[in-house]
Amino acid sequence: MSRVKGLSLVGLVLLTIVVCASFSNSRLPTTQANPAPQGDSGQPMQAILNEVHLLRLAIQRSNLNTYHAQVTLERFRLQQQQVNRLNEKMDSVRARLAKIKLDQDGISEEVKQAESNLAKEADPAKRRELEKVQQGLKLGMDHIAKLETQVREEETQLVGQLQVEQAKLTELNERLDALQKELEIVDKPQPGGKRQ
């Protein structure tokens, strides 16, 4: 940015010189004995005006690129926050799935144990009690299976959303890279010692 300020200062000085020169020319007497040829004095002035014009264009381009970079960078930050939120949700869903898997394994073991106990039990009253426990465990397994289905659907939706949001983040990152390259091109010195 200091280079842009330096260019701005040079442009301002040149513009001041041009204004002063044109102001002093307007105060000269209108009856000159030998007016200077227009072609000789007009060329340096035109060169200065062209340089001032180029400086103004460079400053405008730099300001516009800076504005685009700031807007894109802010959008990138917001998009990164969105991706982070979705990743946190995904972690939460996967933790719930892991807990469901542990619960299923635990209930499955209890069902096997109940079946084993039922096969060994001869007392009809105890058998009815074990059958009720076994039915309750099977209902619990069904409930957990439904819960797992719901959580897996949520995971699938989150995966889709995360892919979309990450694609947007990648696009914004590519825009920032392109802006950076454009700024580097503008900042490169040209063979004649001038910058673009």
pLDDT in tens, 86-131: 999 999 999 999 999 999 999 889 888 888 888 888 888 888 888 8
Number of structural domains (the chain) is: 1
- The verdict on residue 25 lying in a domain is no
Helix (H, G, I), strand (E, B) or coil at 173: helix
Alpha-carbon distance of 56 to 50, in angstroms, equals 10
For residue 56, being part of any structural domain is answered with yes
Can you tell me the distance from the alpha carbon of 59 to that of 6, in angstroms, rounded to the nearest whole number?
10
| 40, pLDDT greater than 70 | no
Give tens-digit pLDDT for 124-170: 888 888 889 889 988 999 999 999 999 999 999 999 999 999 999 99
137: tokens are 């465990």
Distance CA 187, CA 196 (A): 7
In a domain, 22, yes or no: no
C-alpha 71/C-alpha 168 separation (Å) is: 15
Give the CATH number, domain containing residue 142: 1.10.287.1490
Question: Could you list the residue range(s) of the whole structural domain that residue 67 is in?
Answer: 2-17+51-187
Residue 16 binned pLDDT confidence (cut-offs 50, 70, 90): low
Cβ–Cβ under 8 Å, residues 130 and 121: yes
